Amino acid sequence: MDVASKAYQNLLKRRPLNVRARFGNEPLGLVSGRDIASAMNEAGAIALAANARNALVIKGVLKAAKKLDAAVLLELAKSESTYCGATYENIPDYALQYSAELGHGVVFGLHVDHYGIKGPDDVLKGAAHLGHVLARGFTSVALDASHLPDYENLRATRDLADWIPSGLGLEVEVGEIKGAGELSTVEEALYFIGGLNAWGVFPDYLAISNGSLHGTYDPAAGQVEGIDLARTVEIAAAIAPYGVSIAQHGISGTPLDKVGTFRNYGIRKGNVATLFQNVIFGLKMDPATGNAVIQDGSYVKEPGRGIPTDLWNQIVAWCDAKGYGRKSGDYKKANLPFHDPILDLPPSVQEPIVEEIAWWAERFLVAFGAAGTAERVMEIVARRPDHNAAPERTILHRRDAFGPGAAPGGGVKGEGDYSD
């Protein structure tokens, strides 16, 4: 995209206030998540939301986005921020660095993924913490109180949403994402989204439990991809009158031909995390899904892909010392101690990693129908009178219709941590 074009210069002037306050002198195409959501709705496309557990993910995804003129989201879950070297503090800086290396002109948002809320204390902490994160330049937030019973989820999400500027993107969640057979219900979704509407909270996306799983699918353990698109489209149709679409979590390990159908089922945001981690580590992957291949109870490192074998062996030794199994999802926790060593690798090693990340990102962007959506974002921004991307919505319900007695009472609840 031409940075000097009138349309792009207009976009820069209409970025969110927090972005202009921090990056006002930089031609950085960092926009509100609301604008990206609107563009995907208009285009019938899906926004690729890439979890940046390592900064190289940012570089590769931005490179793919620029090539295909696609708007994308770069994201990090609250739990990921505790075990990754890429954090809420430094991701905006990495995004600026890599966007500048590309000559700018990339349209993207920064999304706080899975901001977990386990109870009232997390709401209080979140009010202060999210203020700091947004000041760093993030332009969208996913509030996840799905661990709580339905009414408590509604109340906690409502309370913390009040502390997020209405011009920034908002995602909410009902039903914890735990794998095949664990499904959110239409009744739950309508209670939750209808209740938020009654309180004047207008999300862009609803994340649901529709059979996906975070991380690698291990067939030997009976884990198979089981995204239920019939339930997904039922919920999508039910919440559409509220201006809300579906965010699909746990796409890593899903066949790309199935991914290519997602936009026909009301899905407008697609999260990809573990797949990009697999690329960086250089693990053997199913070429159709990106799922890490497990052989003899262990991940398989492929020589010549990803990080060098000696660095991978250090990661294995570190994980062994922590007591993590050699096919464990806890390998994600190696992203913190080994983040800087990966970034210290020479360009001859880093660049093939970035190219492979970009290759996968391009495949998703094509499957998602997202090519050209950066132009759509600029058109949407140009229609507004100013910078504020707050959506026009109507309150459709009375608040007293969504008290604890009206809560469905069901849902997918549990004691595990399913937050990334």
Instruction: Judge whether 267 lies within some domain.
Output: yes
Question: Is 407 among the domain residues?
Answer: no
**411: confidence class by pLDDT, cuts 50, 70, 90:** very low
**Mean pLDDT of all residues belonging to the chain:** 93
* Residues above pLDDT 70, as percent of the chain: 92
- Indicate if the pLDDT at residue 216 is higher than 70: no
Element (H, E) at 42: helix 33-43
**Residues ≥6 apart with Cβ < 8 Å to 197:** 242, 393, 395, 396, 397
In a domain, 375, yes or no: yes
- pLDDT the model gives residue 219: 53
List pLDDT tens digits, range 246-302.
999 988 888 899 999 999 999 999 999 999 999 999 999 999 999 999 999 999 999
Residue 404 falls within a domain, yes or no?
no
| Residues β-bridged to residue 205 | 171, 245
For residue 409, being part of any structural domain is answered with no
- Tell me if 415 is assigned to some domain: no
Within a domain: 293? yes
What is the Cα Rg of the chain in Å? 20
Q: Is the pLDDT of residue 113 over 90?
A: yes
- 274-281 helix and 347-367 helix, angle to the nearest 10 degrees: 150
At 179 the pLDDT is 55
**Predicted confidence (pLDDT) per residue in 69-94, tens digit:** 999 999 999 999 999 999 999 999 99
Residue-range definition of the domain harbouring residue 118: 6-387
pTM metric for this prediction? 0.95
> Tens digit of pLDDT for each residue in 150-199?
999 999 999 999 999 999 999 999 976 665 667 899 999 999 999 999 99
Q: Is 107 domain-assigned?
A: yes
* Domains: count for the chain: 1
* Domain CATH for 281: 3.20.20.70
